[in-house]
Amino acid sequence: MSILQLKKKLLRISATLALGVLAVIPSMAQTLRRSITTEKLELFFKDNLRSIISLEKTDTVNVILIGDVMMHSKQLNKDWKMFFRHMEGRLKGADLAVANMEFPLGGEPYTGYPAFSTPDGYAEVIADAGIDVFLAANNHILDRGKAGILRTLEVYRKMRQSRGILFTGMSGDEAEDEALYPLIVPVGGIRLALVNFTYGTNTGIDSAWPKVNRMEKSDISKAIERAKEKGADYIIALPHWGVEYQLAHSSSQGNMAKWLCDEGVHAIVGAHPHVVQDTCFMGNVPVIYSMGNAVSNMSITNSRLELAVTLRFLSRGDGTSEMLSPKIEFMWCTLPGKLTDSYATIPVKDFLGRRDDWKEPSDYDNMVATYKRVKDATGIID
């Protein structure tokens, strides 16, 4: 509805209400009807329209998050642009899109598992698909050691400067750590704080800087305090944690989630196990323990099914807001030759009933069976 349409509607409603009041006060009706004209009503609401619209206007802010963006060696020679072609509408349609980038940009030679080094162009393609924020705190970020993370920082900083792509989870020095941990993102009238950290890394470095955010309570607590000091409306914890390939969260994840809630976070969305894990609410805090992979070459049981999680916030014109229930969608990573000639992450519900679209229809059957199995095991309702 345009402002003009809203104005006319308010005038109609206001005139109706005013005349309705007059109708129940017969003794005053004749006098007041003579003194209250349409022009006067219009003038009054013209003067107060800005305040009325400000109080009534609401906007839903959508923040979509996806899991582990991988680059296994077999992915290197495929068409990267196809990986998220079916997700672009969702990613670009959100107010903010966030992904876990599970690799360093360590330069040549490019390698996959177990020690990743991914081409710089892959980060550009992911940004082109609609991702706004790269999460870097994961166990593979130091796969190319200190030189690899320094190079990754350099590339991401250039992308921030040239394209506005943000990152968090790592930093080059104390000043950058304070600026990025947490990452404060104003979006749609609210201020979000992204607190990204990992249980550990596969290799280490022998210096304090560059730093990868670790799952250390003192450090996380400091980041949460910074978020509050910087006026964050909502604090989102983004842990890299859990036991790989387990559909149920571990007791350590549960304990950490409770501690995060006690510290004041408003949502927890995790990654790392490479499969979807169960979800819950702790009080009013949604806890998504693991989104699974976003794209990968994995084929182990359940590892090709994943979640796209949309955190939703109602932002009002008067400066108040509230968090709504998150939206959860299941995705499926198709491997080359199954649906297309490349890797492709697809929304499961969009492709249900389309078995004939598959180059290899048995993969459709695998998707449906995995979807049902994981939903039964986790209790997730999408």
Do residues 15 and 41 touch, judged by C-beta distance below 8 A?
A: yes
What's the pLDDT tens digit per position in 216-268?
Answer: 999 999 999 999 999 999 999 999 999 999 999 999 999 999 999 999 999 99
pLDDT value at 17 more than 50: no
CATH superfamily of 59-378: Metallo-dependent phosphatases (3.60.21.10)
User: Percent of the chain at pLDDT above 90?
Assistant: 84
Closest of 107, 124, 125 to residue 116, by C-alpha: 107
- Name the average pLDDT for the chain: 89
Point out which residues pair with 111 in neighbouring strands: 117
DSSP string, 246-308: -SS--HHHHHHHHHHHHHT-SEEE-B-SSSB--EEEETTEEEE--B-EEE-S--STTTTEEEE
pLDDT value at 40 more than 50: no
**What is the arithmetic mean of pLDDT over 172-180?**
98
Token readout for 62 is: 């959508």
pTM of the entire predicted model? 0.86
| Banded model confidence at residue 317, pLDDT cuts 50, 70, 90 | confident
Res 58: pLDDT? 79
Point out which residues pair with 185 in neighbouring strands: 192
pLDDT value at 46 more than 90: no
**What is the arithmetic mean of pLDDT over 312-332?**
96
| E-strand stretches of 138-284 | 166-168, 170-171, 183-187, 190-198, 211-212, 234-240, 267-269, 279-282
What's the pLDDT tens digit per position in 364-377?
Answer: 999 999 999 999 99
pLDDT value at 70 more than 70: yes
- CATH 3.60.21.10 range(s) for the chain read 59-378
What's the pLDDT tens digit per position in 124-164?
Answer: 999 999 999 999 999 999 999 999 999 999 999 999 999 99
pLDDT value at 43 more than 80: no
Helix axes 3-23, 26-35, angle to 10 degrees: 140
Do residues 228 and 244 touch, judged by C-beta distance below 8 A?
A: no
Q: Is 214 helix (H, G, I), strand (E, B) or coil?
A: strand
